[in-house]
Amino acid sequence: MGGSTVVVGWPLGVALAVLVVLTVAASLLARFDTARQSAVAAVRAIVQLGAVAAVILAVVRSWWSTALFVSLMVGVATWTSARRMTRARSGLLAGVALMAGTVPVLAVVLATGTVPLTGIAVVPIAGIVVGGAMTATSVAGRRALDQLQTRRGEYEAALSLGFLPRDAALLVVRASSTDALVPPLDQTRTVGLVTLPGAFVGVLLGSGDPVQAGAAQILVLIGLLAAETLAVWVVLELVARGRITRT
């Protein structure tokens, strides 16, 4: 460390290499079949963040480039969620769930002035919210489609009792699919007691005071909880109404 920031240099490279090796070794020893995926994910993260760091200053200098960059985030998140859920083209409707979660949260934090209306402030908060909505959409949508396949008999039984297709589907998928909200709920409940999440640590490392760090983290956590709840709601509706399918 130099002051309160992470030093970019050979110690960082060594630390990253050791952590990747540790991850891969643990995956191999535990026979998780994720060793290669972990290594690839780590390399991609390093390359992608390096590229972003190189262009971020240019991106945030104008609103047009900022909007384009945020749109790129949403596009990549949509594609990722879609492929996690289904190979059918209907999976691209994951973008609807992502936008349903992301747009209201960004609108609130920008309209209230909590986050400055500048590119350097909007890009990070947008990335955090889009990322959270993407994860929730992927997990909830995939689990809902799995449940409709494995519990087909229950779905058809509900139809035979007079339920509409949407209501029958929600009866089958709602309980298990909303498990996608367990991680953000637990993180919000235990923040400061069990975990010191990224936004809090990031502000501290950037020489901010603890009050600023706490304010940034609570904004992120509650914004994520709102975005992920909205995203899960919308993706379940899309699955239940037959808009997102496996065929």
- Dihedrals φ, ψ of 2, to 5°? -125, 110
Residue 245 resides in a domain? no
Residues 7 and 113 in one domain: no
CA separation for the pair 11, 22 (Å, rounded): 16
Range of the structural domain that residue 45 is part of = 1-59
Q: Tell me, what's the pLDDT at 3?
A: 47
CATH assignment at residue 124: 1.20.1640
Q: Tell me, what's the pLDDT at 197?
A: 53
Q: Tell me, what's the pLDDT at 198?
A: 57
Q: How many domains does the chain have?
A: 2
Maximal C-alpha separation, the chain: 68
Residue 246 resides in a domain? no
pLDDT tens string, the chain, 247 residues long: the values are 444 456 667 787 888 889 999 999 998 998 888 889 999 998 888 888 777 777 776 777 778 888 888 899 999 999 999 999 999 999 999 999 999 999 999 999 999 888 888 877 888 889 889 999 999 999 999 999 999 999 999 999 999 999 999 999 999 999 888 888 888 888 788 766 655 555 555 555 555 566 666 677 788 888 999 999 999 999 999 999 999 999 8
Q: Tell me, what's the pLDDT at 205?
A: 55
CA separation for the pair 178, 145 (Å, rounded): 13
Residues 207 and 103 in one domain: yes
Residues 171 and 200 in one domain: yes
141's tokens: 């949508």
Write out pLDDT tens, residues 84-140.
Answer: 999 999 999 999 999 999 999 999 999 988 888 887 788 888 988 999 999 999 999
Residues 68 and 4 in one domain: no
Q: Tell me, what's the pLDDT at 99?
A: 96
CA separation for the pair 201, 106 (Å, rounded): 22
pTM (whole model) above 0.85: no
